[in-house]
Structure 1
Amino acid sequence: MTKYWINGALADQVYINDRGLSYGDGLFETIAVIDGKPHLFDQHLDRLQMGLDRLKFPEGTIDAVKNDIQALNFSGNQTLKLTVTRGIGERGYKLPATCVPTRIISLADSSDFAKQRDQGVSVMLCQQRLGINPVLAGIKHLNRLEQVLARAEWSDLDIAEGIVSDLDGNLVEGTMSNLFWARGGILYTPKIDRSGVQGVMRDRLIQLANQLSVEVFEGSYPESVLESAEEVFICNSLIGIWPVITIDGEPLSVGPITRDLQLLLSKEMSC
């Protein structure tokens, strides 16, 4: 069962002229609640604030979101989603003279991804490319049409995720995850400076890799680098770490860096 709050009150409808609906003018965060506590909560709010600043939302928006969240009662394992839109506006792209953001919160039961974490998943390389836009890179804005089109490329239930590259052919991320691979004891991940979402879990795993004395390189890499990868995994705040065991049908082993990071993350999330 999912509950919804809009601007702090239980509700499940928004105005038809909300700019989030009309133009995708807004942002969202999806947070894992573990044993009644939102995981990496401050980091999610930091990314939300980064997006609010980029999109020129009014000051104080994040404070209103925090007040909404403080009124909630978390229990067990849940999925918390925060959505902030520019609010009601007239027809046209011009920003409203007075902006009153719409704050939408949903709270639902969480899914169990233990099997995927343990056994690994199969992924494919998508044909859909991500546009290059440094202004929007990193933030989790509401326009997800590129991801929608990429996800439409497969219906095979054995495929868990699709990997997408940018218009220059450089790897970026999964449709709903960030991407890492290892070779020679070094961990690599695409730099999120022109496309994609700078995942909160992605950033945390870079920190955990440093604790393991594993060097992490961020950069621009073509899809071909995955052919020589010794281990590959995808991640996000809800799924944690999923080892990749096939890419376009080509088999991969679940490697030690992946398992060591899973162990560290598991300990952190159970505290």
Structure 2
Amino acid sequence: MSELIFLGGAHVNVLPGDSRGFAYGDGVFETMRVHHGNVHWWTAHRARMEAGAERLGLTLPSDLLIARAQHELFGRGHDGVAKLIVTRGGGARGYARDADAHPVWRYSRHPLPPAPREGGLVLRWCATALAVQPALAGLKHCNRLEQVLARGEWDDPAIDEGLMRSTEGDVVCATSANLFVLHGDRWSTPMVDRCGVAGTCRAWLLSQTGAAESRMRPADVESADAVLLCNAVRGILPVARIGEHAYSPHPAVAELRQRLARVHPGFAAGH
């Protein structure tokens, strides 16, 4: 991993210890797939980060500064994963925020994840629930403790991911991906208006499928004809099993993966 850390527009060597992101999770982040030095969904990532920053009252670095960091870490031809974290700058101890604090931000380079399991992912249901909090719903904010707890529920290499419900029992997402289910010829995906993250790959799939955003119960998932997970780094991931419920490979999922590969070169065959 390589990283660059900035205080406002100035490069610094270490993360400031009084950063409110470190103290309170007061920030937002984006995790992005890089192909040949480019973030092909940058516009979508930037728009989501701007929406989160506006809701939290954060100042974001300029596109120019981010582009410079991107070029320094990835150049023109490298593949990988970029992670951009923007947090509120430091101030006095306590929850009150300093409106004049410069943002602290970090841009880092990571390797691509391994190829998904051949034949589809194996999922489980998580016991850890997502708290209902509309003020933070949809945002990719820096407090991911619920996901950390959920992911800590298993260490079985035969399990690829876990599905999470809200404290009200609605299905929301996987620990690090959004969820889509197919019944007949109709796609649907859980609403993220009370908790969960509005993913960039999720947004693309909504535009392609016209999927309904709905409250979803576990039975709606288990009775589906096909299930997929998606995120901006791994793309579209077919699901083969959830607990005792198995799903055969479905042509609708394969067609969506092919469509994604045509618009995002990072997901083309061999990448």
Partner of 1:29: 30
Q: Give the 5 Å matches for 1:204-219.
A: 204-209=204-209, 215-219=210-214
* Partner Cα separation in structure 2 for residue 193 and residue 227 of structure 1: 23
Q: Residues 254 and 50 (structure 1 numbering): CA distance in 2 closer, same or farther, change over 3 Å?
A: same
Q: Residues 159 and 66 (structure 1 numbering): CA distance in 2 closer, same or farther, change over 3 Å?
A: farther
Partner of 1:155: 155
Q: Residues 11 and 123 (structure 1 numbering): CA distance in 2 closer, same or farther, change over 3 Å?
A: farther
Q: Which letter does structure 2 place at the counterpart of 1:45? A: R
* Partner Cα separation in structure 1 for residue 88 and residue 254 of structure 2: 41
Checking the alignment, whether the CA contact within 8 Å between 2:191 and 2:214 is kept in structure 1 is yes
Q: Give the 5 Å matches for 1:1-271.
A: 2-7=1-6, 13-58=14-59, 61-63=60-62, 66-73=64-71, 74=74, 75-113=77-115, 115-116=116-117, 118-209=118-209, 215-270=210-265
Q: Which letter does structure 2 place at the counterpart of 1:243? A: P
* Partner Cα separation in structure 2 for residue 122 and residue 153 of structure 1: 15
Aligned residues: 260
* Aligned-pair CA distance for 1:245: 0.3
* Partner Cα separation in structure 2 for residue 177 and residue 248 of structure 1: 18
CA deviations over 1:65-114 (Å, ceiling 9, x no partner): 5423234323231111100000112110001252211011001232232x
* Partner Cα separation in structure 1 for residue 187 and residue 245 of structure 2: 20
Q: State the 4+ residue runs in structure 1 displaced beyond 4 angstroms.
A: 8-12
Q: Residues 12 and 3 (structure 1 numbering): CA distance in 2 closer, same or farther, change over 3 Å?
A: farther
Q: Report the aligned-residue RMSD.
A: 1.7
Which runs of 5 or more structure 1 residues have no equivalent in the other structure? 210-214
Q: Which letter does structure 1 place at the counterpart of 2:49? A: L
Return 49-58 or 94-103, whichever deviates more.
94-103
Checking the alignment, whether the CA contact within 8 Å between 2:222 and 2:242 is kept in structure 1 is no
Return 5-14 or 21-30, whichever deviates more.
5-14
Partner of 1:212: none
Which runs of 5 or more structure 2 residues have no equivalent in the other structure? none
- TM-score, normalised with respect to structure 1: 0.91
* Partner Cα separation in structure 2 for residue 120 and residue 12 of structure 1: 42
Checking the alignment, whether the CA contact within 8 Å between 1:49 and 1:62 is kept in structure 2 is no
Checking the alignment, whether the CA contact within 8 Å between 1:122 and 1:249 is kept in structure 2 is no
Return 158-167 or 92-101, whichever deviates more.
92-101
Return 130-139 or 8-17, whichever deviates more.
8-17
* Aligned-pair CA distance for 1:226: 1.4
* Partner Cα separation in structure 2 for residue 154 and residue 12 of structure 1: 36
* Aligned-pair CA distance for 1:252: 1.1
Q: Residues 170 and 18 (structure 1 numbering): CA distance in 2 closer, same or farther, change over 3 Å?
A: same
- TM-score, normalised with respect to structure 2: 0.91
* Partner Cα separation in structure 2 for residue 162 and residue 233 of structure 1: 13
